[in-house]
Structure 1
Amino acid sequence: MELALIAVGVLILLFLRVPVAFAIMGPCLVYFTVNGQSAGMALKTVFDATNSFPLLAVPLFIFVGVVANKLGIAERLFEFCMSAMSRVPGNLAYVNVGTSVGFAWMSGSALADAAGLGKVQVPAMTRAGYPFRFAAGLTASSALISPVMPPSIPAVIFAATATISTGALFAASIVPAFMMAAGLCVYIAIWVARHPGFESAPFDATRFRKAVVRVLGPLGAPVIILGGIIGGYFTPTEAAGIAGVYMLVLGLFMRTVTFRVLWEAAKETVFLTGGIMLIIGAAGMLGQVMARERVATHLSDWMTDFTSSPLMFLLLINLLLIVLGMLIDATAVILVTVPVLLPLATSFGIDPVHFGVIVVVNLMIGLLTPPVGSVLYVMASVTGRSVDEVFKGIVPFLVPMLIVLAIITVFPQVVMFVPNLLGF
């Protein structure tokens, strides 16, 4: 009963637009007080949840993405993709996806992708005659590639929570991320075939060579991050720090780093990190409540009585996570549900790395859906259009995303191919 009251309290506060961290902390503090626990004990729980070395990678990866955004790397990637695909009918739509894939190797955040690329891609597509809803929906959907493709910030948080290898989770995320991009491209091909008139342009070799030179430097960041982590040269936290230094040095060579750029990047990094860490602390407090109420034991008993099929279990988890992702911030969902659901998944014989990819992809789809969908609101803000209009453009693109989710759920070998190949 106490846990049900906490859940109701959290949901009411969320619907009242209270920030996620405080919506969780408030009912939990009441629980601790009613059960004779001091506020000091509750705050210690918050501190312990954030006191983790792997989580240090989160602000560093955020910094890399923010700096990449400030340095104009999104525009360079856009120009490279545009010059490479100039002869393809509907090229701007494919460029949209290709630019997101390239930026994803440095960003790790859907919000950074949507904010940075949305300012470039949506106006370019609307000027070329694409409907606004198609342009905004595609840009918002392709932004989901960033938090799935390594260096994925949600993957770092999942790995730290589940105490599994971040490198293995990064490796497992590569194929699903490219599948998401491929799914969007298939939808684009169908849409362009039904809407002729988007003509191609002749290939310009000089323009292409210049674009290649301009992206060589930025593409060094993913080589450092992934090559270092997967090759075992350094930890994800060390890789994030080295990548941050690399981006600053690159900015000096590009002559785009100024004191103002650094100050704005630092402020944005602190702002985003502070919000994430508050949620992590609040989720730690809620996790303590759930442990006292033996939620994991009760859920395990119910689930094993309900089904013995691993696939049925994963389908139920998909349904649960999609609903939670629509209502609650993805970071909070990972921190609250993983300690409860992961032991259940392993009892069904599901690999923790496979489970981690399913959780991340599920929750990233929630970023596109109201009432909490962060990417939805960012895209509306960037374009100056209503949330309702942007969401109508997003709806068709949910279909390929859900198909990818179904494939990686039913066929774990698709997810585990790269980690097994690399010996994780």
Structure 2
Amino acid sequence: MSRLSVMRWQKPMISPLLTVLAVLGCVILPLMGYHLAFLFFALFTMLVLGVPIAISLAGACLMFVLITGQIPNIVVAHRMINGIDSFPLLAIPFFIFAGSLMNNGGITERIFNFAKALMGWMRGGLGHVNVGASIVFSGMSGAAVADAGGLGMIEVKAMKDAGYDEEFAVGITAASSTIGPIIPPSLPMVIYGVMASASVGQLFAAGLLPGLLMGAMLMLMIFIISRRRGYTRDAVFSMRVLGHTFKRAFLSLLTPVIIVGGIITGAFTPTEAAVAAVFYALLLGVVVYRTLTWHKLLKVSMETIETTAVILLIVSSASIFAWILTSNQVTQNVIALMGPFADSKVAVLMMANIVLIIVGCFMETIAAITILVPVLLPMAVAVGVDPVHFGVIMVLNLMIGLLTPPVGMVLYVLSRVSNVSFERCMRGTIPFLIPLVICLLLVTFIPAISMWLPTLIYR
């Protein structure tokens, strides 16, 4: 799980990017105050040295408080506690638990077999199956790493056994896994909603159409590549096989219907939907399929506890960081530095996209959201961007970052579960970055793609 990337000490990441950021922090931020310059310099220095993100955030903020001497120590503790005292955050452990239960309970395999019967007859069939299964699974887990680690193993093995190029198999698997945090439910959307004080329900609704657009664009790229490489159909369409696999997967396919449908129709809050997902996954795994043993349940429970603790520690540390930036009017000073470009919606959105993609290459998604929301969101709102729309833009950018080195968490997970080198995983992903970037630009500059559904339902 992604907890490994944010709490274990990492190898020092002496990259040109972070070096430039540290230099800029020392040169530009004195315009805002040397104390803030020190805050950013301390944060980036610890990140470069491989200090876990949560400790880097908390440590930099603590040094800032001690140096300035203007903030009572009790305020730091109070702000950190308030940062995680939020009802929507209760959805996080339940969605993580539900996703792990589905991966360990045989649900993912049934979904993959149904998708294969439904789309395997197309040119490059298993590639399309890969995307289709990820779209369905995204309505259950809400995490790219869960998709890559769960479905990824099944998908890559099936494609290699069918004669597909190894790089193509891991490339499309990595790219399709990024749909998970866009289509509801979505863990990054929950974190963004808490940090931005935005409606999590509206964020979930806003991600549905962009997620489907991502799937359609990836399938178009699969068709193009399959035609160039001579990939044929993997199966003959059979209503009998489709009916059989649908019958086996029917109860599993109801999971996203219950979760997404319940949230969009207002039957559930996101937190209630997460609890319902856990209950339903337990019902299928323990009672219906009987694939979840006590050993598996204990293992999944411990993984969920560890992952949740890490995420909440990051959110708690980031809350004091965000409060320091807000109270020192960092966003207003950045807007002033941008000069005439600060009033241009296009310029602000392009700048935000560039920053988010670069940061996404080096930083875990949840940490990036908690750090960047207090800086970028006020700038976007100032030029008329809806916070819900900006949330989709932010998460989509960071998903693309998951596919790019040096961090590339999805690539590392797939490399491990598929026994393919990291370099080959990276090469296989490159063609699929094109449709994802096109989707990003469409979502950024055509707000209706993300805002139509939440406007229809909630406003």
Give the share of equivalent positions with the same residue, in percent: 42
Residue identity in the other structure for 1:241: V
Amino acid at match of 2:50: R
| Aligned equivalent of 2:222 | 188
| SS of the residue 2:140 aligns to | helix
1:214 matched to 2:248: yes
Q: Which deviates further from its counterpart, 271-280 or 100-109?
A: 271-280
Tell which deviates more after alignment, 257-266 or 106-115.
257-266
Structure 2 match to 1:165: 199
Structure 2 CA distance for aligned equivalents of residues 227 and 92 of structure 1: 28
1:385 is displaced (CA, Å) by 2.8
- Read off the aligned partner of 2:279 and give its amino acid letter: V
User: Which residue of the other structure, out of 37, 47, 51, is the alignment partner of 1:14?
Assistant: 47
The counterpart of 1:404, out of the listed 431, 439, 449, is 439
1:322-369 Cα shifts (integer Å, max 9, x gaps): 111112222122122223322222221111111111111011111111
Q: Which moved more, 1:8-17 or 1:165-174?
A: 8-17
**What does residue range 371-410 of structure 1 map to in structure 2 within 5 Å?**
371-410=406-445
1:2 correspondence with 2:21 = no
**Offset of residue 39 of structure 1:** 4.9
Which of 410, 417, 420 is residue 452 of structure 2 equivalent to?
Answer: 417
- Matching residue's letter, 1:78: F
The corresponding residue for 1:32 is 65
> TM-score scaled by structure 2?
0.89
1:232 counterpart residue number: 266
Separation in 2 of the partners of 1:197 and 1:367? 28
Q: Which residue of 1 aligns with 2:297?
A: 262
In structure 2, the partner of 1:57 is 91
| 1:355 maps to 2:355 | no
C-alpha distance in structure 2 between counterparts of 1:307 and 1:51, whole Å: 34
* Amino acid aligned to 2:357: I
Matched, 1:45 2:83: no
1:344–1:86 Cα change, 3 Å: closer
Alignment of 1:271 with 2:312, yes or no, is: no
Tell me: CA distance 1:371–1:13, structure 2 relative to 1, closer, same or farther (3 Å): farther
Matching residue of 1:137: 171
Cα separation, partners in 2 of 1:25 and 1:423, compared to 1, 3 Å: closer
SS at match of 1:146: coil
TM-aligned CA deviation for residue 157 of structure 1: 1.1
State the Cα deviation string for residues 347-402 of structure 1 (Å, max 9, x = none).
21111111111111011111111222211211111122332221111111111110
The code of the aligned residue for 1:205 comes to: M
Worse overlay, 23-32 or 140-149:
23-32
CA distance in 2, matches of 1:130, 1:284: 46
Q: What does residue 381 of structure 2 align with?
A: 346
Spell out the pairing of 1:116-131 with structure 2 (5 A cutoff): 116-131=150-165
**Rounded Cα–Cα distance in structure 1 between residues aligned with 2:264 and 2:171:** 33
Q: How far does residue 229 in structure 1 lie from its aligned partner after superposition?
A: 1.7
Distance in 1 between residues matched to 2:395 and 2:221, nearest whole Å: 22
Partner of 2:319: 284
Inter-CA distance 367–136: structure 2 relative to 1 (3 Å threshold): same
Cα 1:234–1:89 shift into 2, 3 Å = closer
- 8 Å Cα contact 2:348/2:379 also seen in 1: no
Cα separation, 2, equivalents of 1:94 and 1:136: 13
2:186·2:204 contact (CA, 8 Å) conserved in 1?
yes
Q: Comparing 331-340 with 274-283, which one deviates more in the overlay?
A: 331-340
TM-score normalised to the size of structure 1?
Answer: 0.96
Q: CA separation in 2, counterparts of 1:394 and 1:200?
A: 22
Following superposition, the deviation at residue 38 of structure 1 comes to 5.5
User: Residue 353 of structure 2 aligns to which amino acid in structure 1?
Assistant: N
User: Could you list the per-position Cα deviations for residues 148-192 of structure 1 after superposition, in whole angstroms to 9, with x for gaps in the alignment?
Assistant: 110011111111221221111111111110111111111101001
For the 8 Å contact 2:140–2:256, the answer to whether it is kept is yes
Higher alpha-carbon deviation: 169-178 or 260-269: 260-269
The code of the aligned residue for 1:230 comes to: I
Bigger mean CA offset, 28-37 vs 189-198: 28-37
- Tell me, in whole angstroms, the C-alpha distance in 2 between the residues paired with 1:15 and 1:128: 42
Aligned to 1:247: 281
Shift of 1:210: 1.6
Larger mean CA deviation between 214-223 and 302-311 belongs to 302-311
The code of the aligned residue for 1:32 comes to V
For structure 1, the 5+ residue unaligned runs are none
1:17 maps to a residue whose letter is G
Aligned with 2:356 (options 321, 328, 347)? 321
